[in-house]
Structure 1
Amino acid sequence: MSLEISKGLTEDGIVAGNNFDKYASKNPIVRWMMTGFEEAIADLTAVDTIGSIHEVGCGEGFWSLRWQKDGRQVKGTDFSGEVIKIARSNAQRAGQAPDIFQQRSIYDLTAEHDAADLVVCCEVLEHLEDPRKALDILHSITKGHLVVSVPREPIWRALNMARLSYIRDLGNTPGHIQHWSATGIKNFVSERFHILEVRKPLPWTALLCKPR
Structure 2
Amino acid sequence: MSAAKGNVVGNFEDKYASKNPLARMLVHGFLDAVTELLVLAQPGGKTILEVGCGEGKLADHLVRNVPEPARYLATDLSLERLVPNLDPRVETGRASVHSLPFATDSFDIVVCCEVLEHVDDPGGGLAELARVARERVLISTPWEPTWRLMNMARGKYLRSLGNTPGHVQHFTRRELEQLAARWLGIHAVRRPLPWTVILGEPID
Could you state the TM-score of these two structures normalised by the residue count of structure 1?
Answer: 0.84
Q: Does 1:43 align with 2:41?
A: no
Instruction: Please give the alpha-carbon distance, in whole angstroms, between the structure 1 residues aligned to 2:196 and 2:62.
Output: 21
Map Cα deviations across residues 113-150 of structure 1 (whole Å, 9 max, x no partner).
Answer: 88211100000000001111111111101111111000
Deviations 1:140-180 (A, max 9, x none): 01111111000000000000111111011100000000011
Are 1:150 and 1:180, in contact at CA under 8 Å, matched by a contact in 2?
Answer: yes
Is residue 2:150 matched to residue 1:155? no
Instruction: Give distance in 1, aligned partners of 2:104 and 2:179.
Output: 26
SS of equivalent residue, structure 1 residue 85: coil
Call closer, same or farther: CA 1:194–1:97 in 2, change over 3 Å. closer
SS at match of 2:171: coil
For residues 94 and 186 of structure 1, what CA distance do their matches in structure 2 show? Answer: 32
Specify every segment of 5 or more residues in structure 2 that has no aligned partner in the other structure, as ranges. none
2:53 matched residue in structure 1 = 58
The whole-number CA distance in structure 2 between the counterparts of 1:23 and 1:117 is: 27
1:203 equivalent in alignment to 2:197: no
1:142 match: 133
Residues 6-155 of structure 1: matches in 2 within 5 Å? Answer: 13-16=7-10, 18-46=11-39, 47-50=41-44, 51-69=46-64, 71-72=68-69, 73-79=71-77, 81=78, 84-87=79-82, 90=84, 93-94=85-86, 96=88, 100-112=91-103, 115-155=106-146
Q: Which amino acid aligns with 2:8?
A: I
Q: Which moved more, 1:201-210 or 1:69-78?
A: 69-78
Could you say what secondary structure the match of 1:106 adopts? Answer: coil
Q: CA deviation at 1:94?
A: 4.3
Q: What is the percent sequence identity of the aligned residues?
A: 38
Indicate the SS of the match to 1:112: coil
1:184 and 2:175 are equivalent in the alignment: yes
- C-alpha distance 64-28 of structure 1, shift in aligned 2 (>3 A): same
Q: Distance in 2 between matches of 1:54 and 1:30?
A: 27
Q: Write the distance in 2 (CA, Å) between the matches of 1:33 and 1:69.
A: 20
Q: Report if the CA contact (8 A) 1:67-1:74 is conserved.
A: no
SS of 2:198 mapped into structure 1: strand
SS of equivalent to 1:44: helix
Aligned residues: 195
**Structure 1 unaligned blocks of 5 or more:** 1-5, 7-11
Please give the secondary structure, in 1, of the residue aligned with 2:81.
helix
Q: Provide the secondary structure at the position in 2 that maps to 1:150.
A: strand
Closer/same/farther in 2, CA of residues 68 and 190 from structure 1, 3 Å limit: same
- What TM-score does the superposition give when structure 2 sets the normalisation length? 0.87
